[in-house]
A and B are shown apart, each in its own frame.
Chain A
Amino acid sequence: MTRRVRLWILAVGGAGLAALLVAACLELPGFGGTSHPYGDRAVRASLARRTANTIASINFDQRAFDTLGEMSILFASVLGTVVLLRQTRDERRAKPEPAYVALPVRRYALIVLPVALLTGLYVIAHGQLSPGGGFQGGVVAATALHLLYLGADYRALERIRPVGLYEVGDALAASAYLVTGLAGLIGGAAFLANTLLPYGTFNTLSSGGTVPLLNAAIGMEVACAVVVLLARFLDQAVEIEQEGGT
Chain B
Amino acid sequence: MDDPLIVVTLLLVAACATAAVAVRDPERQALVLAVLGTTLAVLFTVLQAPDVALSQLAVGSALTPLLLLLSVRKVRRRGRKKDKAR
When A and B assemble into the complex, do they touch directly, with CB atoms less than 8 Å apart? yes
* Contact residues of A between 218 and 246, Cβ < 8 Å to B: 226, 229-230, 233-234, 236-237, 241-242, 244-246
B67 touches A229 (CB 8 A): yes
Return chain B residues, CB-CB under 8 Å to A230: 66-67, 70
B1 touches A136 (CB 8 A): no
A123 touches B54 (CB 8 A): yes
* Given known A-B contacts A139-B58, A140-B58, A143-B58, A133 and B74 have beta carbons under 8 A apart: no
> CA of A143 to CA of B59 in the docked complex: distance in angstroms?
9
- CB-CB nearest in chain B for A139: B58
Q: How large is the interface on A (under 10, 10 to 19, 20 to 34, 35 or more residues)?
A: 20 to 34
Which listed residue (A133, A139, A233, A244) contacts B59, Cβ 8 A?
A: A139
A136 touches B55 (CB 8 A): yes
The answer to whether the Cβ of A109 comes within 8 Å of any Cβ in the partner chain is no
Return chain B residues, CB-CB under 8 Å to A236: 70, 74
A242 touches B50 (CB 8 A): no
Which listed residue (B1, B53, B71) contacts A32, Cβ 8 A?
A: B1
> CA of A131 to CA of B49 in the docked complex: distance in angstroms?
9
Return chain A residues, CB-CB under 8 Å to B82: 245-246
* Contact residues of B between 14 and 52, Cβ < 8 Å to A: 50-51
The answer to whether the Cβ of B8 comes within 8 Å of any Cβ in the partner chain is no
**CB 8 Å contact bits of B68-81 with A (1 = contact, 0 = none):** 00110110011001
The answer to whether the Cβ of A53 comes within 8 Å of any Cβ in the partner chain is yes
Return chain B residues, CB-CB under 8 Å to A229: 67
* Contact residues of A between 120 and 152, Cβ < 8 Å to B: 123, 131-133, 135-136, 139-140, 143, 146
The answer to whether the Cβ of B63 comes within 8 Å of any Cβ in the partner chain is yes
A237 touches B54 (CB 8 A): no
- CB-CB nearest in chain B for A138: B58
- CB-CB nearest in chain B for A53: B51
The answer to whether the Cβ of A55 comes within 8 Å of any Cβ in the partner chain is yes
A242 touches B71 (CB 8 A): no
A136 touches B71 (CB 8 A): no
Which listed residue (A31, A131, A234, A241) contacts B54, Cβ 8 A?
A: A131
Return chain B residues, CB-CB under 8 Å to A31: 1
* Given known A-B contacts A32-B1, A136-B55, A139-B58, A233 and B71 have beta carbons under 8 A apart: yes
Q: A230-B67, A237-B70, A237-B73 are in contact. List 5 more A-B contacts (CB 8 A).
A: A132-B51, A139-B58, A236-B70, A236-B74, A242-B81
Which B residues form the contact surface with A (CB < 8 A)? 1, 50-51, 53-55, 58-59, 62-63, 66-67, 70-71, 73-74, 77-78, 81-82, 85
